[in-house]
């Protein structure tokens, strides 16, 4: 057989690279969160290899993943090690994984992840955390909704500067209001309730929440953040029992009185078989503006103790900052008014960690569903007598 590439003898002509060789190299890149390689995860899309010219799309599991840059750098590194390539073109996108069982009958089949934000007691800044985490996720490019589920004391409209906001009804569906890229639903948007107490018994409150969930036009959301009222009453129970959700994020403050009560919320959701995404510590410390030292005004380590006790992820700590309070009162959340502040940076870090945990839960859910399908499709064992 005549070697048509005569220069190959002198090492001047590289052998032609093949698709199998490319995929083998790419499969050495492991997603740090999911602990699986990007090829088996289906993150390599539209791969083309023509005469040494390689082109494909890297589809990440969420735009908010804390390891996106690391994964992209690893891909470029391994591709650079492939001999015989002439050119390399990679397009990077993200598609959020579905972290909940989608049931078309609920009317929420277009919401990929539902995250309930809970606390054992009031006063821990749960609504502030919910709002700023929603904004942080949205700023990564994700499509985010925010449901203010505190019917008795809705605060999200005020914190967004939407005191005169309202929701329309079209085709028997509530249309969410919009602010800073978020789709927002709150009982505070109803004019007759803006300055009046909501005096309702539990069943009525539960009915209102169900309407906000299934009778709202939530369109193509990657994440729906549900700001729950404190405690373990009707609203958290209704959320857990009405629709499949991705999981619960627990918010606490450092002191023992808050963390001890937060434990009760965790216990309730565990009894209901709802996954716990993790815990975030708000008002964790105060950073001195002149010396940059951290001052632990309310104690230290409450959330980390919960994390260790229940073996759930510790997802971040938010420093105490007067700008958070004043921004909320003025309708300018700190993610908007001061995006470079330590608090805003902390919210972004926590949001990325939350998105990563949602991807982990989604991968686990897909594996369980695949296992069930394989079990159902397996032929039944036969016996002979």
The predicted-structure confidence for 266-305, as pLDDT tens digits, reads as follows 999 999 999 999 999 998 878 777 777 777 777 788 888 8
Number of residues that make up the chain: 385
pTM for this prediction: 0.87
Residue 112 sits in the same domain as residue 48: no
Question: Whose CA is closest to 21, among 73, 76, 83, 75?
Answer: 83
Containing domain of residue 64, as a range? 11-94
Residue 41 sits in the same domain as residue 120: no
pLDDT of 14 strictly over 70: no
Residue 85 sits in the same domain as residue 149: no
DSSP 8-state code for residue 254: S
Is 381 domain-assigned? no
Tens of pLDDT, residues 137-192: 999 999 999 999 988 888 899 999 987 778 888 888 999 999 999 999 999 888 55
Is 76 domain-assigned? yes
User: Final residue of a domain: which of 69, 94, 119?
Assistant: 94
Distance CA 250, CA 263 (A): 9
Residue 80 sits in the same domain as residue 116: no
Residue 343 sits in the same domain as residue 215: yes
- The string of DSSP letters for 283-302 reads S--EE-TTT--EE-TT-S-H
Is 41 domain-assigned? yes
Residue 82 sits in the same domain as residue 113: no
Residue 41 sits in the same domain as residue 139: no
Residue 212 sits in the same domain as residue 339: yes
Is 384 domain-assigned? no
Is 240 domain-assigned? yes
CA atoms within a 13 Å half-sphere pointing along the CA-CB vector of 193: 17
Residue 130 sits in the same domain as residue 48: no
Distance CA 306, CA 181 (A): 33
Is 376 domain-assigned? no
Residue 252 sits in the same domain as residue 137: yes
Q: What is the domain-level CATH number for residue 176?
A: 3.40.50.300
Is 34 domain-assigned? yes
Number of structural domains in the chain: 2
Task: Answer whether 141's CB lies under 8 Å from 62's CB.
Answer: no
Q: Give strand pairing partners of 223.
A: 144
Comparing 358 with 1, the larger pLDDT belongs to: 358
Q: What is the domain-level CATH number for residue 24?
A: 3.30.300.130
In this predicted structure, what is the pLDDT of residue 377? 66
Weakest-pLDDT range from 202-216, 264-278, 305-319, 364-378: 364-378
What's phi and psi for 136, nearest 5 deg? -65, -40
């Amino acid at each position: 057989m005549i070697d048509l590439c005569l220069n190959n003898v002198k090492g001047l002509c590289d052998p032609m690279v093949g698709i199998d060789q490319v995929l083998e190299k790419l499969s050495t890149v492991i997603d740090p969160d999911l602990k699986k390689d990007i090829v088996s995860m289906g993150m390599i899309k539209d791969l083309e290899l023509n005469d040494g010219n390689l082109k494909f799309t890297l589809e990440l599991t969420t735009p908010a993943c804390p390891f996106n840059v690391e994964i992209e750098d690893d891909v470029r590194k391994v591709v650079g090690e492939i001999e015989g390539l002439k050119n390399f073109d990679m397009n990077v996108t993200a598609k959020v994984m579905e972290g909940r069982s989608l049931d078309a009958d609920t009317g929420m089949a277009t919401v990929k992840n539902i995250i309930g934000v809970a606390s054992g007691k009031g006063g821990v800044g749960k609504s502030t955390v919910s709002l700023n985490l929603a904004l942080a996720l949205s700023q990564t490019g994700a499509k985010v909704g925010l449901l203010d589920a505190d019917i008795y004391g809705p605060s999200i409209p005020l914190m967004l500067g939407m005191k005169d906001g309202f929701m329309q009804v079209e085709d028997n569906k509530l249309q969410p209001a919009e602010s800073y890229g978020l789709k927002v639903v709150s009982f505070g948007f109803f004019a007759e309730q803006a300055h009046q107490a909501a005096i309702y018994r539990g069943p009525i409150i539960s009915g209102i929440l169900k309407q906000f969930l299934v009778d709202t036009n939530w369109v193509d959301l990657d994440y729906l953040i549900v700001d729950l009222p404190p405690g373990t009453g009707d609203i958290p129970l209704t959320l857990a029992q009405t629709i499949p959700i991705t999981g619960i994020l627990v918010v606490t403050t450092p002191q023992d009185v808050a963390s001890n009560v937060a434990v009760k919320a965790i216990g309730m959701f565990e009894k209901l078989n709802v996954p716990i995404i993790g815990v975030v510590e708000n008002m964790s410390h105060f950073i001195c503006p002149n010396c940059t030292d951290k001052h632990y005004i309310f104690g230290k380590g409450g959330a980390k103790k919960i994390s260790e006790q229940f073996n759930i992820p510790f997802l971040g700590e938010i420093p105490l900052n007067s700008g958070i309070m004043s921004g909320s009162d003025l309708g300018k959340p700190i993610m908007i008014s001061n995006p470079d502040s330590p608090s805003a940076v902390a919210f972004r870090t926590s949001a990325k960690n939350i998105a990563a945990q949602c991807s982990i839960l989604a991968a686990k859910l897909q594996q369980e569903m695949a296992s069930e399908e394989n079990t159902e499709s397996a032929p039944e064992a036969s016996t002979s007598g």
